[in-house]
Structure 1
Amino acid sequence: MSAAIALRRLMTEYKEITKNPPEGIWAGPPDEDNMFEWECYINGSPGTPLEGGVFPATLKFPKDYPLSPPSMKFTCEMFHPNSMFPSGLSTDKAVYQDGTVCISILHSPGDDPNMYESSSERWSPVQSVEKILLSVMSMLAEPNDESGANIDACKMWRDDRTGYNRKVRNLAREVVGLPALQDSEEELGGNTKLR
């Protein structure tokens, strides 16, 4: 598949995601002269400790897109059971220390050599940028402690949910330039309530 076909597909997806953006997500190329690199912003889901945060990432598309999946990398710090981010903090099915997102939908088509995921969960040309970003948003909102990439975050999520929520809420606030919450602020229902 030629780069021209990939470019055409990316232009179509960009037009669609601009015309009908999914709630809580923005994505597109910062420079329309290079459609193969996009910036993304994912809002923290309401009712989660990430609520109020806006988490930047990049998508890099191969020249044979959509036959091969793009790669995704967060460009901010995160603390999540299923991810590892730039400062060593952690998304499901993982984000590594350099921020690279490792989620089934971004894995190359075919059978998983580790037999962890079915081929139907992996990349196929019918997937899209929108589906990728919605999958990552869902992963961030619903940690999977059975598939942890950040052991410290998994342990804290299981054993000290209030502390975990406080830490994640503070990170979400820092990402948008707000000060951290003070210990005296209330924790209700697992989510931080601001006074």
Structure 2
Amino acid sequence: MLSFLSSSLSNTRQSLAQVLNFALVLSTAFMLWKGLSVVTASSSPIVVVLSGSMEPAFQRGDLLFLWNRSLRAEIGEIVVYNVKGKDIPIVHRVVRTFPEVEGRHKTVKAVSESSPTPPNMLLTKGDNNVADDTELYAHGQDFLHREEDIVGSVRGYMPMVGYVTIMLTVTMGSQKRIAKELAELTGSPPAGITVELANEDNLYEWKIFMDGPEGSPFHKGIFQVKLVLPTEYPFKPPTVSFVTKIYHPNVTNDDKGSMCLGMLKADEWKPSSRLAVVLQFARSLLEEPMPDDAVEGRIAEQYREDRKRYEEIAREWTRKYAISS
């Protein structure tokens, strides 16, 4: 009996010791993090690069060390900023500052209190992006404010160290973003579009039903569309394909039914794009195809040169495949 009690007490002490050691590790890490935050004046002194928009300067998974005690950011400097209402930090380069800097001595132009342009405003851009970041900023925001939006400037990095963090962050952020957009689309769907999950256990595959737009050869047809989201969403675009056969220059005329959308190409996709816009654009192509961006050249040529015959075949296919008897 005594040996049993002794063994139980020993196990309890070991369990408590493990809990205390774990708590000590967490508290030490927290104090180090807070210490770095105070020294660097940054709310997040260490961040991980989550996208390839700054390649080749930085790759996905690089660990960045930030400093936020500089009074201003200069053109060419790489900064990390948070957009209002979004949790994902963005690492991009400053390409323009307001007020402008003049002369070799970098004398800052005076800005009066009544000036519509606040001091120390920044415009940023990813080295690997075609356009600047205005579409990534919050609604109605044209520039970043140095004090309000900037988390810090990059002062050092370690390559690929944060790749595990990327996988965890991207997966969790992806699921949160997808769940939010799904709720919005099911609660208030765009006209002529119905959205549901293909499988209740899988957030990444959606089943869409599109009504053929009035005035198009697809009118009165109901088309089933499959939307598949990558685990890296919103940093990588979804794919859209027609399950229901359709005669259209922008949809492959095979069992895959892949739809060609310019906004879904890897080099044109923007993480700020919303799935509601993607689906609305896909439906708008049923009304106004884009023959110059076709995946079926023969159908595109027929659409341009013999519109009447194109519409006859499209209506025939709609009656055959998209209208239930």
TM-score range, shorter chain: 0.7 to 0.9
Q: Which residue of 2 aligns with 1:65?
A: 233
Q: Which residue of 1 aligns with 2:212?
A: 44
Q: Which residue of 2 aligns with 1:169?
A: 315
Q: Which residue of 2 aligns with 1:104?
A: 262
253, 265, 270: which is aligned to 1:85? 253
Is the 1:70–1:106 contact (alpha carbons within 8 Å) kept by the matching residues of 2? yes
Q: Distance in 2 between matches of 1:160 and 1:49?
A: 14
Decide whether aligned partners of structure 1 residues 68 and 148 sit closer, same or farther in structure 2, where only a CA change above 3 A counts. Answer: closer
- Is 1:22 the equivalent of 2:186? no
- 1:19 Cα offset (Å): 1.0
| Secondary structure in structure 2 of the residue aligned to 1:8 | helix
- Is 1:155 the equivalent of 2:313? no
Higher RCO by CA contacts (8 Å cutoff, separation 6 or greater): 1
- 1:156 Cα offset (Å): 2.3
- 1:52 Cα offset (Å): 1.0
Is the 2:222–2:323 contact (alpha carbons within 8 Å) kept by the matching residues of 1? no
Decide whether aligned partners of structure 1 residues 125 and 147 sit closer, same or farther in structure 2, where only a CA change above 3 A counts. Answer: closer
Q: Distance in 2 between matches of 1:35 and 1:161?
A: 40
Letter in 2 for 1:133: L
TM-score by length of 2: 0.45
TM-score by length of 1: 0.73
Aligned pairs for 1:121-132 within 5 A: 122-132=268-278
What whole-Å deviation, never above 9, does each CA across 1:73-114 have from its counterpart, x for those lacking one?
211211112231325xxxxxxxxxx22222122112x4xxxx
Aligned-CA RMSD value:
1.8
Is the 1:74–1:85 contact (alpha carbons within 8 Å) kept by the matching residues of 2? no
289, 292, 297: which is aligned to 1:143? 289
Q: Distance in 2 between matches of 1:124 and 1:145?
A: 23
| Secondary structure in structure 1 of the residue aligned to 2:199 | coil
Q: Which residue of 2 aligns with 1:12?
A: 180
Letter in 1 for 2:260: C
Is the 1:76–1:86 contact (alpha carbons within 8 Å) kept by the matching residues of 2? no
Is the 1:75–1:86 contact (alpha carbons within 8 Å) kept by the matching residues of 2? no
Is the 1:148–1:154 contact (alpha carbons within 8 Å) kept by the matching residues of 2? yes
| Secondary structure in structure 2 of the residue aligned to 1:131 | helix
Q: Which residue of 2 aligns with 1:2?
A: 170
| Secondary structure in structure 2 of the residue aligned to 1:30 | strand
- 1:169 Cα offset (Å): 0.8
Is the 2:230–2:236 contact (alpha carbons within 8 Å) kept by the matching residues of 1? yes
Q: Distance in 1 between matches of 2:232 and 2:324?
A: 41
- 1:178 Cα offset (Å): 5.0
- For structure 2, the residue ranges without an aligned partner over 5 or more in a row are 1-168
Is the 1:76–1:85 contact (alpha carbons within 8 Å) kept by the matching residues of 2? no
Say which structure is richer in strand. 2
| Secondary structure in structure 2 of the residue aligned to 1:59 | strand
Q: Distance in 2 between matches of 1:128 and 1:56?
A: 20
Q: Which residue of 2 aligns with 1:191?
A: none
